[in-house]
């Protein structure tokens, strides 16, 4: 990645593209200023996470993850949240949601985004060809003080809650559906400070949990 003359822009190398419609903004290094988290895909090495910062010299790369390792393989970035076992800020992604569907969690370590945990469960956070890109969310949905990552199952007929425990990822509960998911997931805060989760299914039913 090489910066253009305009210090508010970056040009990618030949064979690379930004993936995803929306980058994420979050304070990864605790300096009080948000960084920009993006996914960059390379035609040979596949996708990797790239974190940008901005200072008096313009845009600069703060950290990167290792690439997937195979061309045309996607990292679907889901959330930046205190999902770590002790509340550490981590980036939650689903690697190759159309193929492997592996939930992965990255943490900033100096100038690197290090993979700290993963779970190979065939999680389909996005159906190939669909415009529904927000089918996974993070939040404390059961009110126990720990943040869960909610992802659809491979058949899109259930929502699975993943939690970081120690150096691993575990499925802690599941919401089963009678039909396949047909919408994005929606989350709102309730009057008592909890979270309500909603999703529509192909049978025309809107499901809401709180």
pTM metric for this prediction: 0.91
Name which of 13-27, 38-52, 88-102, 173-187 the model is least confident about: 13-27
Please write the tens of the pLDDT for every residue from 76-110. Answer: 999 999 999 999 999 999 999 988 899 999 999 99
Mean pLDDT of the chain: 91
Q: Residue 10's pLDDT is what?
A: 76
| Confidence tier at 73 by pLDDT (50, 70, 90) | confident
Q: Is the CB of residue 132 less than 8 Å from the CB of residue 183? A: yes
Q: Alpha-carbon distance 112 to 195, whole Å?
A: 33
Place of tokens 């948000």: 34
Residue 1 has pLDDT above 80, yes or no: no
* Terminal-to-terminal C-alpha distance of the chain: 44
CA–CA separation, 154 and 145 (whole Å): 28
Q: Residue 184 phi/psi, 5° resolution?
A: -70, 170
pLDDT of 52 above 50: yes
| CA angle in degrees (0–180, nearest 5) for 156-158-163 | 115
pLDDT tier for residue 7 given thresholds of 50, 70 and 90: low
Residue 85 confidence (pLDDT):
95
> What does the pLDDT read at residue 28?
94
pLDDT tens, 162-174?
A: 999 999 999 999 9
Question: For the ranges 5-19, 22-36, 37-51, 181-195, which has the lowest average pLDDT?
Answer: 5-19
pLDDT at residue 114 in the model = 98
Annotate the chain with three-state secondary structure: CEECCCCCCEECCCCEEEEEEEEEEECCCCCCCCEEEEEEEECCCEEEEEEEEEECCEEEEEEECCCCCCCCCCEEEEEEECCCCCCCCEEEEEECCCCCCEEEEEEEECCEEEEEEEEECCCCCCCCCCCCCCCCEEECCCCCCCCEEEEECCCCCEEEEEEEECCEEEEEEEEECCCCECCCCEEEECCCCCEEEEEEECCCCEEEEC
Looking at per-residue pLDDT, the higher value among 13 and 186 belongs to 186
């Amino acid at each position: 990645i090489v910066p253009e003359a305009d210090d508010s822009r970056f040009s990618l190398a030949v064979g690379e593209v930004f993936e995803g419609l929306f980058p994420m903004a979050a304070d990864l290094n605790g300096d009080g200023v948000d960084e920009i988290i993006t996914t960059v895909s390379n035609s040979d090495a596949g996708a990797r996470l790239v974190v940008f910062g901005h200072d008096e010299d313009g845009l600069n790369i703060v950290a990167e993850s290792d690439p997937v390792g195979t061309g045309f393989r996607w990292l679907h970035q889901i959330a930046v949240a205190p999902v770590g076992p002790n509340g550490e800020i981590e980036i939650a992604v689903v690697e190759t949601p159309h193929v492997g569907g592996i939930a992965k969690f990255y943490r900033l370590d100096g100038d690197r985004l290090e993979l700290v945990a993963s779970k190979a469960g065939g999680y389909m956070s996005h159906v190939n060809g669909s415009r529904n890109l927000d089918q996974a969310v993070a939040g404390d949905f059961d009110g126990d003080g720990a943040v869960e990552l909610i992802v659809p199952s491979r058949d899109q007929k259930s929502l699975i809650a993943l939690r970081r425990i120690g150096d691993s990822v575990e499925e802690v509960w599941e919401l089963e559906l009678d039909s396949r998911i047909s919408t994005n997931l929606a989350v709102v805060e309730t009057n008592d400070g909890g979270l309500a989760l909603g999703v529509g299914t192909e049978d025309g039913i809107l499901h809401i949990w709180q």
